[in-house]
Amino acid sequence: MQASIRYILLALGSLIGLHFILSISHEEYGKATSLSTIASKFGSTYPHNVPEEYYDNGSYENSNSTNRRKANAAFVILARNGDLQGVLESIKQNEDRFNKRYGYPYVFLNEEPFSADFIKYTTEVVSTKTEYGLIPHDHWYQPKWIDEDRAKASRKKMEDKQVIYGGSVPYRNMCRFNSGFFFRHDLLKKYDYYWRIEPNVKFYCDLHYDPFLFMQDNKKVYGFTISLPEYGETIETLWETVKGFIKAHPEYIPEDNALKFLSDDGGQTYNRCHFWSNFEIGDLNFWRSEAYMKFFEHLDQAGGFYYERWGDAPVHSIGAALFAKKDQIHFFNEVGYKHEPFMHCPTGDVHARGKCWCDQNHNFDYEWYSCLKKFEAA
């Protein structure tokens, strides 16, 4: 009996090994046998789809947004003048796929004044109002109270380890700004919801409903398309700092939170899963809440944005998972999206309905490095 079991295990091991070798040596075999491809054969596998009543089911060419019910929302784009071409590509796709029918405004933010060309060409390519804001100095640059010698030593250590953006101060400025300041900008104070757009991204699918209204009507606070683990070298003390805040302020943590997305052992350790914040649709008032504001101040005073390289993606993700109820976080399956190198491409009926032009074989959702399975489990 034991010998039979050994033979079975040996055979299974041989098959798995052969599958692995074929997957990495033959691209077409790898595509055909990926989890994403198998899932697509059986139609939509997601329980996250937006209910039918939110779809307009009208002609995509009907661009009249005058009579539509709308949320108090805007697109937010953090960019420099040198990003102009990448910004134009992103917003042109967004206009074609969604906004030329729905008519939401754009807010552009920069740590330096926008050039005349940037304003001219971005205004020309969109169908609605555009606003251009300068980021306040104290919201962007490294605070004076940071120990620069310690921060410099940390950057050198990360550079030696070849950590992406490990030696960059501007990247750290951006992460800190997006974590704790963008929602305080004067141009955004009048809005309740935002959709973050980055330069050089792809939007693959026609979107026939308003995600802002869906968020508003269903009391959602955060929406995403891609989730994955953060680089461990960039957040070595982040979770211990978070646990310190939780211990000091248990009153901010609702019982029905999404801690299970972040931790596999009840909060003792962080599994590094986060929502990729280069795409996010969110409730600005959630970031402005007492819980999140105190949370950010706690992180900021710890100095990890500069002594390590804490990103806004894990900070937003931890904040949303801890301070919101788990059903207030939404996976936007219908939004086909790519930020190099990862892509969410809807599968099955959702792909067809959105007239998506992305390759379902390259959908990241259920690849081994994705955290979507943990979100669903949570």
- Among 259, 249, 210, 160, smallest CA distance to 54 is for 210
Residue 66: what pLDDT?
57
Does a structural domain hold residue 349? Answer: yes
Q: What is the pTM of this model?
A: 0.85
Residue 53: what pLDDT?
78
Token pair of 125, please?
A: 């390519």
Residue 52: what pLDDT?
80
Does a structural domain hold residue 250? Answer: yes
Task: Enumerate residues 6+ apart whose C-beta is below 8 A from 327.
Answer: 256
Q: Which residue has the tokens 């939004």?
A: 335
* Residues 282 and 220: beta-carbon distance below 8 Å: no
Judged by phi (left if over 0) then psi (alpha if -120 to 50, else beta), residue 2 lies in alpha
Residue-wise DSSP of 320-331: HHHHS-GGGEEE
Does a structural domain hold residue 244? Answer: yes
CATH number of the domain where residue 194 is located: 3.90.550.10
CA 188 to chain centre: 19
Does a structural domain hold residue 22? Answer: no
Alpha helices in 26-128 (DSSP H): 27-32, 35-41, 84-94, 100-102, 116-125
Helix (H, G, I), strand (E, B) or coil at 282: strand
- Among 339, 283, 224, smallest CA distance to 74 is for 283
Residue 57: what pLDDT?
59
Residue 47: what pLDDT?
54
Domain count, the chain: 1
- E strands in 178-290: 193-196, 202-203, 222-224, 227-229, 273-275, 280-283
Q: What is the pLDDT of residues 187-207, one digit of tens each?
A: 999 999 999 999 999 999 999
Does a structural domain hold residue 367? Answer: yes
Q: What is the pLDDT of residues 38-92, one digit of tens each?
A: 444 433 345 567 878 778 754 434 445 556 789 999 999 999 999 999 999 999 9
- Strand 227-229 relative to strand 106-110, pairing: unpaired
* Residues 109 and 133: beta-carbon distance below 8 Å: yes
Does a structural domain hold residue 24? Answer: no
Rg (C-alpha) for the chain, rounded Å, is: 22
Q: Which residue has the tokens 């992180």?
A: 299
Does a structural domain hold residue 52? Answer: no
Catalytic-role residue among 280, 290, 334, 376 = 280
- At 280, give phi and psi (nearest 5°): -160, 145
The boundaries of the domain holding residue 131 are: 70-377
* Residues 274 and 232: beta-carbon distance below 8 Å: no
233 noted as active-site residue: no
Q: What is the mean pLDDT of each run of 10 residues along the chain (378 residues)?
A: 48 46 42 43 53 66 62 98 98 97 97 98 96 98 97 96 95 98 98 98 97 97 98 97 98 97 97 98 98 98 98 98 97 97 96 96 95 94
343, containing H or E segment? strand 342-344
Residue 48: what pLDDT?
64
Does a structural domain hold residue 310? Answer: yes
